A and B are shown apart, each in its own frame.
Chain A
Amino acid sequence: MSMVLDVFVGNTTIMDMDIYQLWLDGLTVREAVKARMDQGALLECEANAEVLMSDTMDQFRTFQLCERLLHSPTKLANQLLFQIPSQHQRMLIEKYYEFDSVFAREVLGKKLSKGTKKDLDDISSKTGITLKSCRRQFDNFKRVFKVVEDLKGPLVENIQHHFLLTDTQARDYAAIVFFANSRFETGKRKLQYLSFQDFAYCASQLIQYWTTGAVGELHLYSMVEDMDVDLEKEFLHELKDLKVLVNDKNMLDQHKVLVCAALRGKIKVYRLMEANFKNLSRALINLASKLTHTKDVRDLFIDLVEKVIEPCRCDRWTLGEVTLFLTQYTNAAHGLGTFSRQVVWDRYMGVIRSCILRMYHE
C-alpha cells in the first residue's frame, strides 16, 4: 500500500514560515521532517511522522511553484495563480532574498559568472551552508546584478523598486552589485579578517561619495547609466593633483607640523606617529594618485590594509588614536596656504577615513 499522490491546495495559499526557512536553507524533505521533529512538531495535534512528511512535501511543493514568481517579486502582487495575503508576500520576498553574510563575504568582488557558480561547492563545504542554499543566494546576487546593471538612476532605489526589498537589504545588495562590478580584491589572506558588513559599509561610502551619481546636480537632472556603479572618472583624475602634498617638501613638513601640533599630548602613540607621519601620508597620497588604473582600484582595500592599517596596528594604535589622527590629518591640509585642492581632498579623505576606521579592528 503506497501513497502515489497527495495534494493539498488552499484557495488562499497556506504557508508555514518555519518550513519556508527550512526550504530556503536547502534541506531535503527528509531532513526538514527530521528538523521539525527535533523542534517538537510531533507534539502538536497528535501528528505522526507520516503526517509531518505529507505536510512538509505539500509546503515544499508550494514554495517550488512560487519560486518562479519570487524571481521577479513585482509580479507576485499581480499574478493570479496564488492568492497570497500581502504581508505573506512581503515575508516570502524578504526571506527569499535574505543571504548569509558568510556566503556573501566569499563571493564579494568575484565575477558573478558561471565559473564562480561552479566553485560554489567549495564555498558550501567551507561555510557549512548547503549547496542548494548557496545556489539560491548566488542566483539572487546575479539576478539583481543583471537587472540593475543596465538601469538608470540610483542603485539602491532601483533594487528596491524591482525587488521590493527592505532598505537594509537593498543597501546590502547594492554593495554586492558594486563590488561585483568593480571586482575589488577581497579574497587575499590579509583581508580575511574583514566581514561582509565591513565591506558593505565601505561600498556604501564609495557609492555615496565617489561615484558619478554622488555629484548632487547629476543626481537631480539626468539619469546616467551606471551612475552609482562606476567611480567618477574626473574625480579619479583630479586625485593626481593631491601628489603635491608629498612631492612638495615644504608642504609635507608643514602638514606634519600642523598635525603634530594638534595631536601633541592627545595620543599615546605620538612619538611613533611623528616618526611615521611621512610614510603614512605618502601611502595615502600614492593610493589616491594611482586610482586611475583599474588594477589599483581593485587593490584599494588590500593597499589600505598593507600600507596604513597594518603599520598602525604594529605600533598598537587604538581606534580612537587612528580617528584623531585621520581627522587632524584631513583638517590640517586646509591650513596649508599653498594647497588648492580642498574639495577633492575632502571628498577623498572623507571616504578613506570612514573606510579605514571601519576596517581598523584593534
Chain B
Amino acid sequence: MPGKLKAKIVAGRHLPVMDRASDLTDAFVEVKFGNTTFKTDVFPKSLNPQWNSEWFKFEVDDEDLQDEPLQITVLDHDTYSANDAIGKVYIDIDPLLCSEAATRICGWFPIYDTIHGIRGEINVLVKVDLFNDLNSFRQSSCGVKFFCTTSIPRCYRAALVHGFVEELVVNEDPEYQWIDRIRTPRASNEARQRLISLMSGELQRKIGLKVLEMGGNAVVGYLQCFDLEGESGLVVRAIGTACTLDKLTPGTAPNTNTHSNTAPASNVFRPVPGLGSCRATWAMFKQPVLDISFPLIGVLNNQFRHFLFLSVLSGMGSGGSAGKEAGPLKTLLRQHTQSALEQREFPFFTLTCFPPGFLVHVGGVVSARSVKLLDRIHNPDEPETRDAWWEEIRQEIKSHAKALGCHAVVGYSESTSICEEVCILSASGTAAMLNPRFMREGCLDAGGSDHRFEDASPPSCGFCHIPYDEFNMPFPAQLTYCYRCRRQKVPDVLFTTIDLPAEAAVTGKGCLIQARLCRTKKKAQGEVNATAISNLLPFMEYELHTQLMNKLKLRSMNALFGLRIQISVGENMLLGLASATGVYLSALPAPGGIQVAGKTPSDLNYDQHIATMQKRINDTITKNKELYNIHPPESTEELVGSPIPDRQRSRLFRSTSESSDELLELDLSHGKKDAFVLEIDDTDAVEDIQSLLTDAPMPAGFYSCNTEVMPGIYNWTSGLQMFTSVRVYRLSNANLTNQGLNKIFTELCENLLKSLYFKLRSMIPCCLFWNVPRSLSFVSPPPCLHPVLRPPHRSVSSAERCSPLPEGRSRSLRSTRSMPCGAPVAVVKMTPLSFLPGTRIVKYLGIINMFFIRETTSLREEGGVSGFLHCFIAEVFAMVRAHVAALGGNAVVSYSMKECVFMENPNKNQAQCLINVSGDAVIFVRESEQEATPPLMSSGQISSTGADGTT
C-alpha cells in the first residue's frame, strides 16, 4: 500500500444549463481512481456550484498511481431519469510521484465532453502521499523523471547518459470492438481516451523500470506515439534516452545551458575562431555519390515484405597524408567508445543537443524504412510482432551506423504511416561517435564536468572531421582538409538529424529547406500494395535527397541540420516531405555552383534555353548569398589556437594561388570542378529545375528554421507565439501525373507559407520555428485524396523587437470595474522549443501527454469542418494550459502535436478528430527578474517586464 492519493472538489463555474425548465443545473461530481469511486453532494440549482468536498482518499499501489489517471466526472442530478453527464476531466498524477516535480495539482480544469467540447470548469485539488517502497521486486518506477525535451534539461546536469530505452504496448482499439455497435459515440470515445491514458501510463512505468535497471533516474527525449492500426489494434510505443541527471542549484545553472539562447549569452553561439568553436563531429553526406541499395528482404513466411533502405551516404575518400597523425587517436577513441557502447543492444540516443564534448564525430544520416502488412493483434499481452518489426529496423540502423565507422546513433526518432492495412515504419538518426566518458560507470566523481571532456575534445573544428576510415570507404566521395584546422579531412556536404551544436562556426544565416514530393501509385490490396510501396520508396527517398541537395546548393550552403523526412502513404499516392535547416558551416568547403548540362548540344535553341536557365540559377545563387549573408572566404589559413575575433578573420584569407602545396592538392575538390551538374535529358529534369527556382523567397523580416536555434540570429525577444495550422485539400482530378502532382503539392506548401507570412506580418521581424512531426497524412474517404498538410506548431518568436504580448492585468478601466469571479487566468506560454528566449527555466514540473477525441453530429451547425477543428484545437490548447497552470507552471516547452487524425462524413453531418499533444510543463522566470526572485514562483507571478531581450 505504498501511496495515498487525495482529491478535493472545490467548485465549478460556467456550467452548462442542464435543466431547461429552470435554466439551471443540479451538479454533482464523481471522483474515480482505479475501481474506487467517490461522490460529492448535489449542489442544487446553480451554474457555479460550490461543493467544497471533503478529501477523497484512495489507497493504492504506486503501480496503479503510474498507470491510472484520476477521473473526474461532473453530472447533473436527475430525480426521475438517469443522471446526465456534463463532462469529464482526466488528471495524470504522474508529476506528483516525483519529488523534484510538482507537489500538488490545484486549479481550474475545463470540463470536457467528447461530443460537446468544453462545458464549464471545475476547481480541483490533488495531492499524493508516497510511502517508502522497500520492495525490490517492485513493478513501479516512481521517481523517474520524463522529459520530452531532446537536450539535457536546463536545470540539470547529465552525470551519465545510459542510452536507449524503448517499449511498446498494444491493445484492441475500443472503436473496433463488437460492443461499439451498441454503445453511444460518447461512451466509445471515452473508452478510447481512457484506454490510451492507461496505456501511456503503463508504457511510461515500464520504461521507468528499464531506466532504474540501467541505474538512471530520468528519460530525456521521450517520444511517445500512437499507431491507430484500425481493425488490427492500437499500439502505443515510446523511445527515449535514459540518463542520470543531477539537479543544479540555481546559481550554477547557466554553466550547463549549452545553448541558453538568451541575449547576454548569445555570444555562446557566435563562433570565436580558435576557441574551440567546433567541438563535435558530423558525418557527411554527399549527394552525387548516393548509392541506392534496396534489398527486398523476404522475412520469414513472406507475409511481410520487408524493405530497408540505406540512405546514409558518406562523403569520404582521397587518402590524404595529413590524416594520419589523427589516426591513432581516433582508433583509441573508437576502442573506448566501443567498450562502453557495445554492451548495449542499441547505442541510440534520442537527444538532438548534447552536453559539450559528448559528441565527437558524426557519420551522417542513417535511416531505414520497412513496409508491413498489419494483422490483428491476437494477444495484447505479447506484442512480439510489433517489437520484432522495430527490432529489425533498429538493427538495420545500427549496421548502417557501423558501416559509417560510428558506434552510436544520435538524434534518433521513429515514426509510422498507416493506410488501411499497410504500414510504413521509419527510423532515422545521425550516426556518430561519442565520448565514452559519459557512458562509463563510475565517472560521476571524476571531478566536475568542466574539465572532464577537455582531453577528448578535438580541435575547434574536430566536429566536422570524418569519423570513418578514409581508405575503406563504402562510397566514393570527395574530401578536403578542414577549412579551419587544415589537418583533418571533412566532406563537402553534411546532412544530420540533430540540432546545430552550440559551438558550430557558421557563416551567414541559416534557413529552412524543404523538399516535397508526390508519387502516384496504383490502388491495390494486401501484399501487392505493400510491394508497390516498397518499390517506390527508394526512388522517393533519392529524389527528396536530390531536391534537398539542389536547394542547398542554390542557397550556397553546405550542411543540413534537423533533417526530418516524412513519407506518408495514401490509397493511390505517396507523399514525401523533407525539412531541414540549411547552414554554411565555416569548416566545410564552399559549395560549388549548379551547372546545367544538356544532352543534345547540337540544337541551338536548346543551348540557348540551357544558357538562360544557367543564368537564372547563377543569379539566384548570387541573390541568396546576399540574402543569407554568406560571404565565405575562398580558402582559409589555419586558425587553430589563434583567438582571432570574427571581424578580423577576413584579413587572414588567402587566395588559392598563394596557398601552400598542401592546399593546392585540395584545389581539386573545390572550385569549379566541384560544381553540381544537373543534366537535362528529359522533360522531368526541366520541370525539376523549374520547381527549384519557383520557391518563393520569404518576405523581408521573416526567418525560418526547424532547429532549436536559428543560425545567424542571436538576439531574441521573449515575444513568443505558438500556433497550429491545419489544411486539407481535396484533389479533384485523380489522374494527374507525378509532375502535375508535385507541382500542386509545391504550390500548396508555398500558399500555406504565404498565408502564414501574411498573418504574422505584424510580428516582423520574426522567425518561424517549424515543428512538423507528421505533416502529411491522408484522410480516408475514397475515392478522393486529401493530403492533410499540417505544419503543426510553429512557434513564432519575434526577433529584434519587443514582444507584442503584454500581460499586466491591473489596468482596469475604472476602479468600479471588478472581476467578480476571482483572479483572472494566469498566462501559460507554449513553445515547441526547449527553452523560452529571454527567460530561464527554474523547474520542470513533469511531462504533459494528453490524448483527446472530439466528435460531432452537427458539423454544419458548428461552422463546418474548419469551425469544428478550430474549436477543438483551441480546446486542446486550453486543457494543456489548465493542466500546466494546475501544476504551478507557466509554460510548456518542447510542445508538440504528435497526432491529429481527422475524419469527416459530410453527408451524415458528422466529423471526428483525435489529437495527441505532449510537452514539458515548466516554471520560467524572466532573465531580468531572476536575481530578485527566488526560484519557486507561483504561476500568478508572470508579469510582463516589457523590454527584455531587445539588445
Q: How far is the CB of B241 from the nearest CB of chain A, in Å? A: 28
CB–CB A9/B759 < 8 A: no
8 residue pairs, one from A and one from B, having the closest CB atoms: A5-B728, A10-B723, A9-B873, A11-B722, A11-B830, A86-B809, A80-B878, A45-B761
Q: B878: which A residues are within 8 A, CB to CB? A: 80-83
For chain B, residues 749 to 767, give those with C-beta under 8 angstroms from any C-beta of chain A. 751, 754-759, 761-762
Q: List 9 A-B contacts (CB under 8 A).
A: A1-B744, A5-B866, A6-B726, A7-B870, A9-B873, A51-B751, A80-B108, A157-B816, A166-B813
A357 to B626, CA, bound (A): 71
Count of chain A residues with a beta carbon within 8 Å of a chain B beta carbon:
50
Q: Determine if B825 is an interface residue (Cβ-Cβ < 8 Å).
A: yes
Q: Determine if B542 is an interface residue (Cβ-Cβ < 8 Å).
A: no
CB–CB B819/A74 < 8 A: yes
Q: Determine if B811 is an interface residue (Cβ-Cβ < 8 Å).
A: yes
A55 to B813, CA, bound (A): 31
Q: How far is the CB of B245 from the nearest CB of chain A, in Å? A: 28
Q: Determine if B783 is an interface residue (Cβ-Cβ < 8 Å).
A: no
Q: Determine if B867 is an interface residue (Cβ-Cβ < 8 Å).
A: yes
Q: Of all chain B residues, which has the CB nearest A75?
A: B14
A46 to B759, CA, bound (A): 11
Known A1-B729, A11-B723; judge A46-B806 contact (CB<8 A): no
Q: B870: which A residues are within 8 A, CB to CB? A: 7, 9, 58, 61-62, 65
Q: Determine if B121 is an interface residue (Cβ-Cβ < 8 Å).
A: yes
CB–CB B758/A10 < 8 A: no
A13 to B759, CA, bound (A): 12
CB–CB A86/B824 < 8 A: yes
Mark B699-715 against chain A: 1 for CB-CB distance below 8 A, else 0.
Answer: 10000000000000000
For chain A, residues 74 to 117, give those with C-beta under 8 angstroms from any C-beta of chain B. 74-75, 77-83, 85-87, 90
Q: Determine if A331 is an interface residue (Cβ-Cβ < 8 Å).
A: no
Q: Determine if B871 is an interface residue (Cβ-Cβ < 8 Å).
A: yes
A297 to B902, CA, bound (A): 62
CB–CB A50/B751 < 8 A: yes
Q: B751: which A residues are within 8 A, CB to CB? A: 50-51
Tell me whether chain B's interface is mostly helix, strand or loop, or mixed: mixed
Select one of A4, A16, A87, A166 contacting B730, CB under 8 A.
Answer: A4
Known A2-B730, A5-B902, A81-B118; judge A45-B807 contact (CB<8 A): no
CB–CB A80/B121 < 8 A: yes
Select one of B722, B821, B829, B874 contacting A74, CB under 8 A.
Answer: B821
A87 to B820, CA, bound (A): 18
- The size class of the interface chain B forms with chain A is 35 or more
CB–CB B874/A65 < 8 A: yes
CB–CB B869/A85 < 8 A: no
Q: Of all chain A residues, which has the CB nearest B784?
A: A4
Q: Determine if A47 is an interface residue (Cβ-Cβ < 8 Å).
A: yes
Q: A157: which B residues are within 8 A, CB to CB? A: 816
Q: Determine if B814 is an interface residue (Cβ-Cβ < 8 Å).
A: yes
A9 to B756, CA, bound (A): 11
CB–CB B757/A46 < 8 A: yes
A85 to B804, CA, bound (A): 10
CB–CB B754/A164 < 8 A: no
Q: A86: which B residues are within 8 A, CB to CB? A: 807-809, 811, 824
A16 to B804, CA, bound (A): 13
Q: Of all chain A residues, which has the CB nearest B824?
A: A77
A278 to B755, CA, bound (A): 74
Mark B719-745 against chain A: 1 for CB-CB distance below 8 A, else 0.
Answer: 001111111111111000000000010
Mark A254-267 against chain B: 1 for CB-CB distance below 8 A, else 0.
Answer: 00000000000000
Q: How far is the CB of B198 from the nearest CB of chain A, in Å? A: 26
CB–CB A160/B121 < 8 A: no
CB–CB A81/B758 < 8 A: no
Q: Determine if B398 is an interface residue (Cβ-Cβ < 8 Å).
A: no
A285 to B417, CA, bound (A): 88
Q: Of all chain B residues, which has the CB nearest A157?
A: B816
Q: Determine if B865 is an interface residue (Cβ-Cβ < 8 Å).
A: yes
A149 to B927, CA, bound (A): 51
Q: Determine if A12 is an interface residue (Cβ-Cβ < 8 Å).
A: yes
CB–CB A64/B863 < 8 A: yes
CB–CB A87/B806 < 8 A: yes
Q: Of all chain B residues, which has the CB nearest A10?
A: B723
Tell me whether chain A's interface is mostly helix, strand or loop, or mixed: mixed
CB–CB B759/A58 < 8 A: yes
Q: How far is the CB of B509 from the nearest CB of chain A, in Å? A: 20
Q: Determine if A28 is an interface residue (Cβ-Cβ < 8 Å).
A: no
CB–CB A74/B728 < 8 A: no
Q: Determine if A48 is an interface residue (Cβ-Cβ < 8 Å).
A: yes
Q: B730: which A residues are within 8 A, CB to CB? A: 1-4
CB–CB B723/A14 < 8 A: yes
CB–CB A77/B721 < 8 A: no
Q: Determine if A291 is an interface residue (Cβ-Cβ < 8 Å).
A: no
A64 to B817, CA, bound (A): 25
Q: A82: which B residues are within 8 A, CB to CB? A: 874, 878
Select one of A1, A12, A64, A78 contacting B825, CB under 8 A.
Answer: A78
Q: Determine if B13 is an interface residue (Cβ-Cβ < 8 Å).
A: yes
Select one of B110, B816, B869 contacting A81, CB under 8 A.
Answer: B110
Q: Determine if B822 is an interface residue (Cβ-Cβ < 8 Å).
A: yes
Q: A47: which B residues are within 8 A, CB to CB? A: 754, 758
Mark B398-419 against chain A: 1 for CB-CB distance below 8 A, else 0.
Answer: 0000000000000000000000
Q: Of all chain B residues, which has the CB nearest A50?
A: B751
CB–CB A6/B727 < 8 A: yes
Select one of B757, B813, B824, B874 contacting A78, CB under 8 A.
Answer: B824
Known A4-B865, A9-B724, A45-B699; judge A81-B755 contact (CB<8 A): no
CB–CB B877/A9 < 8 A: yes
Most buried by B among A14, A52, A83: A83
Most buried by B among A3, A8, A14: A8
Given known contacts A77-B825, A82-B874, A86-B809, what 8 new A-B pairs fall within 8 Å (CB)? A5-B788, A5-B865, A12-B805, A46-B696, A47-B754, A78-B13, A160-B814, A161-B817
A55 to B725, CA, bound (A): 12
A211 to B819, CA, bound (A): 28
Q: A44: which B residues are within 8 A, CB to CB? A: 758, 761
Mark B777-817 against chain A: 1 for CB-CB distance below 8 A, else 0.
Answer: 00000000010100000000000000001111101011011
Q: Determine if A351 is an interface residue (Cβ-Cβ < 8 Å).
A: no
Q: Determine if B340 is an interface residue (Cβ-Cβ < 8 Å).
A: no
A129 to B699, CA, bound (A): 38
Q: Determine if A354 is an interface residue (Cβ-Cβ < 8 Å).
A: no
Known A4-B865, A75-B14, A85-B807; judge A9-B723 contact (CB<8 A): yes
Q: Determine if A197 is an interface residue (Cβ-Cβ < 8 Å).
A: no
CB–CB A78/B822 < 8 A: yes
CB–CB B786/A81 < 8 A: no
Known A10-B722, A47-B758; judge A81-B875 contact (CB<8 A): yes
Q: B756: which A residues are within 8 A, CB to CB? A: 8
A45 to B817, CA, bound (A): 40
A52 to B869, CA, bound (A): 20
A86 to B812, CA, bound (A): 9
CB–CB A80/B811 < 8 A: no
A3 to B752, CA, bound (A): 11
CB–CB B882/A80 < 8 A: yes
Q: Determine if A54 is an interface residue (Cβ-Cβ < 8 Å).
A: yes
Q: B754: which A residues are within 8 A, CB to CB? A: 45-48, 51
Known A4-B865, A78-B825; judge A14-B721 contact (CB<8 A): yes
Q: Determine if B848 is an interface residue (Cβ-Cβ < 8 Å).
A: no
Q: A64: which B residues are within 8 A, CB to CB? A: 863, 867
A166 to B816, CA, bound (A): 10
A5 to B873, CA, bound (A): 13
A64 to B756, CA, bound (A): 21
Q: Of all chain B residues, which has the CB nearest A86?
A: B809
Q: How far is the CB of B587 from the nearest CB of chain A, in Å? A: 36
CB–CB A83/B816 < 8 A: no
Q: A161: which B residues are within 8 A, CB to CB? A: 816-818, 820
Known A14-B759, A55-B755, A80-B878; judge A7-B726 contact (CB<8 A): yes
CB–CB B758/A55 < 8 A: yes
CB–CB A2/B759 < 8 A: no
Q: Determine if A176 is an interface residue (Cβ-Cβ < 8 Å).
A: no
